[in-house]
Chain A
């Protein structure tokens, strides 16, 4: 019978369907079940709030800001053009740009693609209402680092960036996960990253096909990062930053006893918020950053700790100390300065070509007489100068709690032989004695050196973090081992730099208060003005702070730097 056969054929088809069901539902059940669970159960990483950074008085320097982002979930929208068309007028961004943004940021169907970052709150509300009729649209909030102080603290604070590929493996051991993790770059953000970052939590949630939360299945709270209190005084920092303005250079104010850095400004600088904006794919910020990176002015470099320069006459403090300690000169001994000095066949000039006449150690420091120090240097010898320079902390890192500190360079006979394969000449000793030649220092090293003179011969480790959470940072200091008499002589010389009418730093004079300083004017390039240095401590009796002003190609140290240092001290005195 024909019908019977057809019935059998149809029956076989139905049996095949049953078999297919059995295969999918019985044999491969666990596989598909896992896939369905993967669909609906998502592990949401809960990023820990990064610790805030405050100044020494508890003013906030780096906090958090909540922003709204408009994103689309690719798997929810079949027609991305249509969604973009609807979004374009609300976001006020052209369709082409949104589409480009989408293509550029697309990574996987189930990962929302951010189309617009940091949209105004009102727009976010409008978009949230339209989530149901614009396919795939999701409005998400994100907590961003916010540097309230903008430029003033750029080098101190640093900024945040994404982990680089090669860093990923290295940091895995610290419990950092993926490329979306942010790490501190430069400044305190980098140096104290481990404290600031906290510990990430997680949430197991059930989501629908749009990624919307249906219910929470499990939760591990994130641990916020530690709060950081800096030694910086925000008011002083802002004032000093305003003082430097467009000039290129460094200002440092440091507590001479404890090594607490009250202010540290390096110019040119940058706005760290730009890096935060760029993280979300803001093209303009990205361009600005690449400008920063390629700029000849190197605005990202913290000149206070990473820039190395010849110190010029400030170095005479070291030479004086070496000569006094080794007995090459006494307090009463005088040298004549005719304005020029002959070493071998070469003539070395004093900055005052008319000559200073008869100078003792006090007046030589006061007038910064080159000839006096040529003779002193030659008497002491280069290796002894080097060893005293090292005792004052030059040639090695100060150990400040900031990354990328330079060591500078203190030359010696053996150093020259090793590196240049040449013997040391006496002419080089002359140059060395006035802080020129191979010698290179960082502004912070000089601050440390001045502080050591002021605090009775202790090399204190400069630091910028006062307190991590509840834990106070330790002060570390070590004795240089100079005679008290030596220090007294140098201090007196430095007092006269400001106090004496012919002192090189006389412009820094403050009526009614005595303080001390040493100027420096260091030749760097023939074609450009000298670097100007002014290193001071205040007040003369019982010194509290050291002030360093350094202007790159800023001319004579006794001119602009001296005046700026005076203004800083004036402001500091007002604050007290």
Chain B
């Protein structure tokens, strides 16, 4: 049982914010799959909703497990987990199921899941563990952390899962920053990263290259890769201040918006709840981040703090990249909106991340 002291330190506000965001997510998942969803996908909106709730229950359960074990224990497990994850990523490349031109899934007992979703967390744990032991910033450790992240990064790019690979970059920088690396050094490294882009370009699949080119000019291919972004911008923009009302977004309900229940669910929020709804959601996400920051301030354990730094970077940049993408500010990379987009792997990994933050906060 959790002791009274631990329970007192438990951040109920954080959990509350998570639940509110998830509830909003369910509301819009219903809208995104409502009425016409049946006509186009053959499934009832209830079935999407039900599956999402079942996944959330499962995610809560896993979260409780993550909470019950001290986070220090998890940190100790970081290296073996890293090894297992590495093997899983290799396994995906060799025999993973291909969907939408990418090998991301492995099927495990009838459930398909994406190891790359968990790579994010495992990498954060590994970095926190490794860097948490080092008192002073050194070039050797910097290079070591690059290696820690670099190997899975390449495997994930190769799958290819550009969104997840991309999110590893802010994670690395977030953790390094929290560790104490100088901002100037990090900026220089970031620019150095930029130089590797031509090399990375070669690794990309044709459809990804097209997406990036279309990002630069969506009208290049208004029916193909550019279609989603154009329709998404129309959806968000046409929402106006107050939105068209729940279940009344024409872009959404009349099927003009593809992938609206997964990566592009923010467009539905923007269309049906307007500017107020969109900023409300952004505020809730920022509140979530803000709660995580206060956890850092109260924690003395450096590994624990680095863990939270990594998770902050993960969650905030996932939100920023996803939303920026729906407004055409970043290329479409295939990154879900945490707690809102439909999909089990993402829900579970987000809840584990939240549980880890709560865990650190509880055992400061």
A contacts, CB < 8 Å to B: 1-3, 5-7, 10-11, 13-14, 17-18, 20-22, 24-26, 28-29, 31-33, 35-37, 39-40, 74-75, 78, 109, 132, 206-210, 214
Q: How far is the CB of A522 from chain B (nearest CB, A)?
A: 65
Q: How far is the CB of B256 from chain A (nearest CB, A)?
A: 5
What CA separation (Å) do A113 and B36 show in the bound complex?
Answer: 24
The answer to whether B320 touches A25 (Cβ under 8 A) is: no
Known: A13-B320, A14-B285. A33 touches B238 (CB 8 A): yes
Given contacts A25-B270, A39-B256, 12 further A-B contacts (CB under 8 A): A2-B180, A6-B309, A20-B327, A24-B327, A25-B239, A29-B237, A29-B240, A31-B237, A39-B234, A40-B254, A40-B256, A208-B256
B224 contact set on A, CB distance < 8 A:
78
A37 contact set on B, CB distance < 8 A:
250
What CA separation (Å) do A207 and B177 show in the bound complex?
Answer: 52
The answer to whether A207 touches B240 (Cβ under 8 A) is: no
User: Which parts of B214-265 form the interface with A (CB within 8 Å)?
Assistant: 222-224, 227, 231, 233-241, 250-251, 254-256
Q: How far is the CB of B335 from chain A (nearest CB, A)?
A: 14
Q: How far is the CB of A34 from chain B (nearest CB, A)?
A: 8
Q: How far is the CB of A200 from chain B (nearest CB, A)?
A: 26
Q: How far is the CB of A38 from chain B (nearest CB, A)?
A: 9
Known: A25-B240, A109-B223. A17 touches B235 (CB 8 A): no
A22 contact set on B, CB distance < 8 A:
275
The answer to whether B234 touches A208 (Cβ under 8 A) is: no
A24 contact set on B, CB distance < 8 A:
233, 236-237, 270, 327
What CA separation (Å) do A197 and B175 show in the bound complex?
Answer: 75
CB within 8 A of B270: which of A13, A21, A206?
A21
Q: How far is the CB of B144 from chain A (nearest CB, A)?
A: 21
What CA separation (Å) do A25 and B40 show in the bound complex?
Answer: 28
What CA separation (Å) do A10 and B42 show in the bound complex?
Answer: 40
The answer to whether B297 touches A28 (Cβ under 8 A) is: no
The answer to whether B241 touches A132 (Cβ under 8 A) is: no
Known: A10-B289, A17-B320. A39 touches B250 (CB 8 A): yes
The answer to whether A6 touches B255 (Cβ under 8 A) is: no
A18 contact set on B, CB distance < 8 A:
278-279, 282
- What residue of chain A has the Cβ atom nearest to residue B297's Cβ? A3
The answer to whether B275 touches A26 (Cβ under 8 A) is: yes
User: Which parts of B38-79 form the interface with A (CB within 8 Å)?
Assistant: 39-40, 42
CB within 8 A of B255: which of A21, A28, A78, A210?
A210
Pairs A-B, 8 closest by C-beta atoms:
A32-B237, A36-B238, A208-B254, A209-B255, A24-B237, A25-B275, A32-B238, A33-B238
> Of A31, A39, A40, which is in contact with the most chain B CB atoms at under 10 Å from its CB?
A39
What CA separation (Å) do A28 and B320 show in the bound complex?
Answer: 21
A-B contact pairs, 15 of them (CB 8 A): A2-B178, A3-B296, A3-B297, A6-B293, A10-B320, A11-B286, A22-B275, A36-B234, A36-B238, A39-B250, A39-B251, A75-B227, A206-B250, A209-B254, A209-B256
What CA separation (Å) do A560 and B312 show in the bound complex?
Answer: 103
A21 contact set on B, CB distance < 8 A:
236, 270, 275, 278-279, 282, 327
The answer to whether B323 touches A17 (Cβ under 8 A) is: yes
What CA separation (Å) do A3 and B291 show in the bound complex?
Answer: 12
Known: A7-B293, A32-B236. A25 touches B178 (CB 8 A): no
What CA separation (Å) do A13 and B224 show in the bound complex?
Answer: 29
How many residue pairs link A and B with beta carbons under 8 A? The number is: 126
Question: Does B274 sit at the interface, judged by CB under 8 A?
Answer: yes
Question: Does B329 sit at the interface, judged by CB under 8 A?
Answer: yes
Known: A10-B312, A18-B282. A132 touches B40 (CB 8 A): yes
Question: Does B174 sit at the interface, judged by CB under 8 A?
Answer: yes
A207 contact set on B, CB distance < 8 A:
254
What CA separation (Å) do A25 and B244 show in the bound complex?
Answer: 12
The answer to whether A35 touches B234 (Cβ under 8 A) is: yes
Q: How far is the CB of A5 from chain B (nearest CB, A)?
A: 8
The answer to whether A214 touches B240 (Cβ under 8 A) is: no
What CA separation (Å) do A7 and B316 show in the bound complex?
Answer: 10
What CA separation (Å) do A6 and B317 show in the bound complex?
Answer: 12
Q: How far is the CB of B138 from chain A (nearest CB, A)?
A: 18
What CA separation (Å) do A29 and B275 show in the bound complex?
Answer: 10
A25 contact set on B, CB distance < 8 A:
236-237, 239-241, 270, 274-275, 278
The answer to whether B174 touches A6 (Cβ under 8 A) is: yes
What CA separation (Å) do A32 and B237 show in the bound complex?
Answer: 5
CB within 8 A of A39: which of B183, B254, B275?
B254
The answer to whether A36 touches B227 (Cβ under 8 A) is: no
B174 contact set on A, CB distance < 8 A:
6
The answer to whether A132 touches B237 (Cβ under 8 A) is: no
B233 contact set on A, CB distance < 8 A:
24, 32
The answer to whether B177 touches A6 (Cβ under 8 A) is: yes
The answer to whether B254 touches A14 (Cβ under 8 A) is: no
What CA separation (Å) do A26 and B236 show in the bound complex?
Answer: 10
Q: How far is the CB of A8 from chain B (nearest CB, A)?
A: 10
What CA separation (Å) do A26 and B297 show in the bound complex?
Answer: 37
A3 contact set on B, CB distance < 8 A:
178, 293, 296-297, 309
The answer to whether A28 touches B237 (Cβ under 8 A) is: yes
Question: Does B290 sit at the interface, judged by CB under 8 A?
Answer: yes
CB within 8 A of B240: which of A10, A26, A74?
A26
The answer to whether A14 touches B286 (Cβ under 8 A) is: yes
B200 contact set on A, CB distance < 8 A:
none
What CA separation (Å) do A35 and B218 show in the bound complex?
Answer: 15
B250 contact set on A, CB distance < 8 A:
36-37, 39-40, 206
